[in-house]
Amino acid sequence: MASLIEQNGDFVSYRQKAWHGLGTIFQNALTVNDALTYGGLDFTVEKAPNIHRTPSGVEIVSDKSFFTYRTDNDRILGDYVGKNYTILQNHDALGFLDEVVEKGDLEIETAGALSGGAKVFVCAKVKKPIIVNGHDESYQYIVLCNGHDGLMAVQAFFTTVRVVCNNTLQLALKNCQNKISIKHTTNVKANTNQALKVLGVIEANQQCANEGYNHLAQIRMSQNQFSSYLANLFLEQEEIIRLKNREAQKEVLSTRKSNIIASVVDYCYNGVGQSEAGEMSAWWAYNGVTGFFNNCKSYKTPEHRMTGLLWGYDGDTMNQAIKLAAQPAKIPSVKLDLSLLN
């Protein structure tokens, strides 16, 4: 199976294999240097000008169009970057976590490379847990990514993992700063040095998430709000309009779409850890959605799973899920009969 996640030692995990099932497991705590070395992230990237060949065979070295490549294996990582694009080596992009790790606030959980090194990442766990409902534990994580393909800035963003069911959740609560982006410019190193100060939002986000998640646990949803919640998350606007126009649900929803929503409903009621969440609470509904994506949805390959949850449609849906759950009364009403789902 072809995988964007490098399988020749280019992924490491602390104590247990990560959710995508790949990587070498280390029993000892990882340092940033360990993550870079054993995660296959200690390669060097350089930039070179593209060469254009005219129909007559003349070769012209561009002064505007460049490509990036790994010096250890000459693999092309980005085939078109601008002249102002500045490479940030992985040691520079990821190494600033060292100070936080050494203070004991974080521990590195996973690290790896995607697409041959075009994207690299380190995931570190904030040791202090978030407690919901007095017993439902969540832990905040920082995922730090560096791109060499010209498509992604350096990003540090926050997620949480609910221990009882291992759901990866996007932290998208109001007033929480959940993402930091640093562009690849001539000042990128200076910006990265400043990022450590910005990561002081860890404590603020911890408090924010604690208050936000416990607030969700206290919000009750009616059955109509719950069905409208799922409709707004999983249906296209055209499908919603057709339902509002009183078209038969079985004519509007495909079998695939019905099965997806039915799986979410099933996870809400029967998923691992859902008994901890409080039936028909906003926290329960939200974790039902994220539980489906993380534990039930089938992905073609591990890289589809990872990119979908972190950077793709599924991650966007989870972000929207927490926003809607926070204010059920404002969810646009959609008449979706859950009893008619396949």
Per-residue pLDDT of the chain in tens (342 residues, 90 and over written 9): 233 434 434 566 655 555 445 566 766 677 777 888 877 788 999 999 999 999 999 999 999 999 999 999 999 999 999 999 999 899 888 877 777 777 777 888 878 888 888 988 888 888 888 888 887 787 777 778 889 999 877 777 776 654 444 343 333 334 445 566 767 776 666 665 655 555 566 666 677 777 788 888 999 999 999 999 999 999 999 999 999 999 999 999 999 999 999 999 999 999 888 888 889 999 999 989 988 887 888 877 666 666 666 666 777 888 888 889 989 999 999 999 999 886
What Rg, from alpha-carbon coordinates, does the chain have? 22
Please give the helix or strand (H or E) that residue 121 lies within, else none: strand 119-132
- Largest interatomic CA distance in the chain: 74
65 by DSSP, 3-state: which? strand
Q: What is the pLDDT of residue 156?
A: 75
The one-character DSSP state at 116 is G
Question: What is the per-residue pLDDT for 18?
Answer: 54
Using CA atoms, how far apart are residues 262 and 121, in angstroms rounded to an integer?
34
**Alpha-carbon gap, residue 128 to 117, rounded angstroms:** 31
Whole-number Å distance between alpha carbons of 97 and 110: 13
Domain boundaries, the chain: 11-42+88-213, 219-340
